[in-house]
């Protein structure tokens, strides 16, 4: 198909910026030149990648898939070229905002002790799966399994109970545990970044009012001020304690499974070592089975 690196760089910039003018500025070329490059790419592939009108620009479904692949391929090329002069780069691992709770520091410390030759670079990601698909990280810990058809291998590691998060001064905070129904009279804050909670967690017809907040700080503030309550995985209580938020066990909902995911074709030679290390430290088992999605 004679697709060149300049075509991939053009699509990557267009998808990132959502605007031809800004993408052209990032690439240090003119907007007409960028438009011609995009037209060439679409012609050579025989499919529309970008929907363009006078008011908006958006990637098509095919465009979004290629945009993710383009990011990954370009980063792999940049990494390969950098290794020629600088040696092997760190193993980049994406963590969600709740990290691994109480397991986070022991896992990182034991890796440093057992693998001193391979630096592990931690990346805190709003969406670790997206960072993994785009090649920003080599592996990622997830609390939701990856979407089908993403070309990732995924390994379930352990399960965390769900907790309710309520304002410290709320009558609910005086209880030892709660049920989902106890939260229904109050608005429930849903974190927009990699949240494991949705209204569908409650039975149909018995669901609370929900609203989205941008991130963990907004989520905690909303609960601490009495505007809402929340539901989260146990790791949040370890990673994000708050003097005005109390975390309580939920007795009638299932746990959240923590997964490790990585590309089916690994992007770093230490990926297998990370998988084995995570299994030993987080599951206590010698081996476990990964699956492709």
- Other C-beta atoms lying within 10 Å of the C-beta of residue 239: 18
Q: Residue 115: is its pLDDT beyond 50?
A: yes
> pLDDT (tens digit, 9 = 90+) per residue, 173-215?
999 999 999 999 999 999 887 678 888 999 998 999 999 998 8
Long-range contacts of 25-32 (CB under 8 A, 24+ apart): none
List, in order of start, the domains of the chain with CATH numbers.
Answer: 5-84 (1.10.10.10), 89-148+260-292 (3.40.190), 162-249 (3.40.190.10)
Distances (CA, A) of 280 to 63, 86, 178, 287: 40, 31, 33, 8
pTM for this one?
Answer: 0.72
Q: Residue 264: is its pLDDT beyond 70?
A: yes
Q: Residue 273: is its pLDDT beyond 90?
A: yes
> pLDDT (tens digit, 9 = 90+) per residue, 225-259?
999 999 999 999 999 999 999 999 999 999 999 99
Q: Residue 287: is its pLDDT beyond 60?
A: no
- According to DSSP, the β-strands at 256-263 and 139-142 are antiparallel
Q: What pLDDT does 292 receive?
A: 61
> pLDDT (tens digit, 9 = 90+) per residue, 60-84?
999 988 988 888 888 888 777 777 7
Confidence of residue 99 (pLDDT cuts 50, 70, 90): confident
Question: Once rounded to an integer, what is the mean pLDDT over residues 117-136?
Answer: 88
For all residues of the chain together, what is the average pLDDT?
89
Q: Residue 288: is its pLDDT beyond 80?
A: no
Question: Once rounded to an integer, what is the mean pLDDT over residues 96-123?
Answer: 92
């Amino acid at each position: 198909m004679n697709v060149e690196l300049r075509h991939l760089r053009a699509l990557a910039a267009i998808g990132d910026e959502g605007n031809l003018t800004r993408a052209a500025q990032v690439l240090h070329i003119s907007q007409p030149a960028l438009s011609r490059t995009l037209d060439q790419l679409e012609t050579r592939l025989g499919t529309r990648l970008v929907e363009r009108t006078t008011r908006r620009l958006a990637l098509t479904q095919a465009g979004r898939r290629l945009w993710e692949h383009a990011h990954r391929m370009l980063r792999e090329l940049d990494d390969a070229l950098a290794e020629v002069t600088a040696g092997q780069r760190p193993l980049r691992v994406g963590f969600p905002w709740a990290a691994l709770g109480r397991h986070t520091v022991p896992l990182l410390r034991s890796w440093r002790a057992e693998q001193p030759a391979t630096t592990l670079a931690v990346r805190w990601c709003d969406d670790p799966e997206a960072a993994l698909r785009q090649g920003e990280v080599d592996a990622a810990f997830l609390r939701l399994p990856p979407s089908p058809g993403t070309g990732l291998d995924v390994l379930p590691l352990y399960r965390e109970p769900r907790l309710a998060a309520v304002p410290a001064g709320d009558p609910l905070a005086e209880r030892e545990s709660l049920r989902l129904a106890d939260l229904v009279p109050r608005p429930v804050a849903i974190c927009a970044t990699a949240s494991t909670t949705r209204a569908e967690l409650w039975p149909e017809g018995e669901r609370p009012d929900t609203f989205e907040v941008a991130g963990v700080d907004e989520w905690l503030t909303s609960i601490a001020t009495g505007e809402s309550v929340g539901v989260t995985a146990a790791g949040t209580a370890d990673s994000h304690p708050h003097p005005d938020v109390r975390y309580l066990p939920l007795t009638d909902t299932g746990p959240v499974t923590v997964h490790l995911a990585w590309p089916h074709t690994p992007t770093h030679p230490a990926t297998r070592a990370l998988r084995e290390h995570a299994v030993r430290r987080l599951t206590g088992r010698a081996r476990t089975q990964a699956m492709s999605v």
